[in-house]
Amino acid sequence: MKLKHISWIIVISLLFSSFAFAEKSREYLKYEDEQVRLDIYNPGYRNCPVVILIHGGVGIEGDRAIRYAGFATDLMNKGIIAINVYYFDSKRENWTKTIIQTINYIKNIPNANKDRVGIVGYSLGGTIALTVASIDNRIKALAINAGYLPSGFTKENAANLPKTLMISGTKDSSIHTLNQLKQWFKEFGKPFQTKINEGLGHNNVPMGIFQENWDAIVEFFTKNL
């Protein structure tokens, strides 16, 4: 009886020791004279992959803060640490550097796996994500929703990109970016996924399609990080 009792204690202890306590925290990325807000959504498990979310040109305040909190929560529920970066807190010329500094910051998160990092960007954020992923080989997966090629971005830059998912509508000017990247990736023999929304432009995407796009992004990171 005593041995049986001890066995149950061990089982219960193991269950509690492996239980994850998910949490959201507000941290600050400080470098030079910059101080940038980071909202970190941590599932609490060991050895978690990390995804950095880069918002579009409208920003992440007001109603959009609720939307991006939902994005981050979806990732956290899949066991991924999600970081919303308020990169507008930095100077325009430092936006790319801010994302790179955020990647550097990951070393301060004890349960983060620094070898399993992805970034996702929407519109302007997609352009920044493309730039960062082409120059920082710590990025292992890249998702771009309605993003554009950065100025001066070449085939040689594209050769440095990791596994990539590109989403665009057929009436969105970002479709040209999708088609160009797709062509280059085929030439390189690199993995590349697309989701094309027929007849849709850059704005006013129906909520159902909007959710489908985001679900595809979450699935992409779940499989590739």
Task: Residue 210: name the closest of 70, 84, 80, 73 by CA.
Answer: 70
Rounded Cα distance between 75 and 83, Å, is 10
Domain ranges, ordered by start, for the chain: 22-224
User: For position 72, what pLDDT does the model report?
Assistant: 96
From 3.40.30.10, 3.40.190.10, 3.10.20.70, 3.40.50.1820, which CATH number describes the 22-224 domain? 3.40.50.1820
For residue 204, what pLDDT is reported? 82
Q: Evaluate whether 143 touches 154 at the Cβ level (below 8 Å).
A: no
Is 33 strand, coil or helix?
coil
Locate 5 and state its tokens: 């009792």
pLDDT at position 119: 98
Residue found by looking up tokens 């352009």 in the block: 127
> What is the reported pLDDT for 216?
98
Beta carbons within 8 Å of 140's beta carbon, 6+ residues apart: 115, 116, 117, 118, 162, 163, 224, 225
pLDDT at 20: 52
| pLDDT of the chain, 225 residues: tens digit per residue | 444 444 443 333 333 334 456 789 999 999 889 999 999 999 999 999 999 999 999 999 888 889 899 999 999 999 999 999 999 999 999 999 999 999 999 999 999 999 999 999 999 999 999 999 999 999 999 999 999 999 999 999 999 999 999 999 999 999 999 999 999 999 999 989 999 999 999 988 898 998 999 999 999 999 999
pLDDT of residue 21: 63
